[in-house]
């Protein structure tokens, strides 16, 4: 098994080896952020976001979990006309993301909402064509009803880190303090799969990603 506990190590290594790397200014920033410990989306999750953005051509995107703004900027670069709302609660990340949006989102299509997603989501209105959930894993079941309400018909919903190093599939965390996250992610995946309004596929890439469409 790989370090992430999702795929065999040789498969993970091959996927990284064969994958065509992004190029350009955002790819350089991406490398810097990744090498400096910022928890931005893994390369293949970025690829998935790019492909979905190209296919879906969303007019409105909602992201939960901004970090320094990498995935927002990647989606912005892929669909420049889309308006993006992204939510972040960590002041350190907010400060950094604001600088990055100021520098790189020249058209000002990205709006950063500061605060806890659990408080912000219930007050949001409108319909989003693409929602990307990449925040506190233990809260995923709490967010799901609002995400469903905010997702347009035939909208696409992506959630990251749902297998949490494979512990969710094993049904056992590595240590006691991760027990609640594992239980909540298991609950979340079962909620999503059981919901007739969604068609979902769970992809064993990165740390586990769901890709859903709202019927
Ligand atoms: C994995 S990072 C997001 C990475 C980002 N999507 C990217 O690829 O560039 C998760 C972020 O979610 C934020 N976060 C976690 N729980 C949150 C919450 N309840 N409300 C808002 N932001 C939250 C964290 O502070 C962290 O910056």
Lowest mean pLDDT among 1-5, 27-31, 43-47, 168-172: 1-5
Lowest mean pLDDT among 21-30, 65-74, 172-181: 172-181
Spell out which residues line ligand 1, taking CB within 6 angstroms: 39-41, 65-67, 70-71, 87-90, 93, 116-118, 134-136, 139
pLDDT in tens, 68-91: 999 999 999 999 999 999 999 999
pLDDT in tens, 128-145: 999 999 999 999 999 999
> Is pLDDT at 165 greater than 80 in this prediction?
yes
Structural class in CATH, domain 9-214: alpha beta
CA–centroid distance, 87 to ligand 1, in Å, is 8
Helix (H) or strand (E) holding 153: strand 151-160
Tokens of 131: 């929602």
Supply the residue whose CA is at minimum distance from atom 14 of ligand 1.
Answer: 135
Instruction: State how beta strands 209-214 and 198-203 pair.
Output: antiparallel
Residue 213 and residue 15 in contact, taking contact as beta carbons nearer than 8 Å = no
Q: Tell which atom from ligand 1 comes closest to the C-alpha of 116.
A: 20
CA–centroid distance, 86 to ligand 1, in Å, is 9
Residues composing the chain = 215
């Amino acid at each position: 098994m790989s370090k992430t506990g999702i795929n065999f190590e040789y498969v993970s290594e091959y996927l990284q080896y064969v994958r065509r790397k992004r190029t350009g200014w955002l790819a350089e920033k991406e490398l810097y952020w990744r090498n400096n410990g910022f928890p931005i989306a893994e390369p293949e999750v970025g690829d998935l976001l790019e492909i979905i953005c190209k296919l879906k051509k969303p007019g409105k995107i909602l992201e939960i979990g901004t970090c320094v703004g990498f995935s927002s900027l990647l989606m912005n670069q892929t669909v420049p006309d889309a308006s993006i709302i992204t939510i972040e609660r960590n002041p350190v990340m907010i400060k950094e993301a604001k600088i990055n949006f100021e520098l790189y989102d020249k058209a000002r299509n990205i709006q950063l909402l500061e605060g806890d997603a659990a408080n912000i989501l219930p007050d949001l209105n409108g319909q989003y064509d693409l929602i990307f959930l990449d925040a506190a894993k233990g809260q995923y079941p709490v967010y799901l009803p609002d995400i469903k309400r905010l997702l347009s018909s035939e909208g696409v919903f992506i959630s990251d880190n749902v297998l949490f190093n494979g512990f969710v599939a094993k049904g056992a965390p590595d240590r006691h303090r991760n027990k609640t996250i594992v239980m909540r992610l298991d609950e979340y995946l079962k909620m999503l799969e059981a919901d007739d309004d969604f068609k979902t596929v769970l992809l064993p890439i990165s740390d586990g990603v769901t890709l859903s469409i709202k019927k």
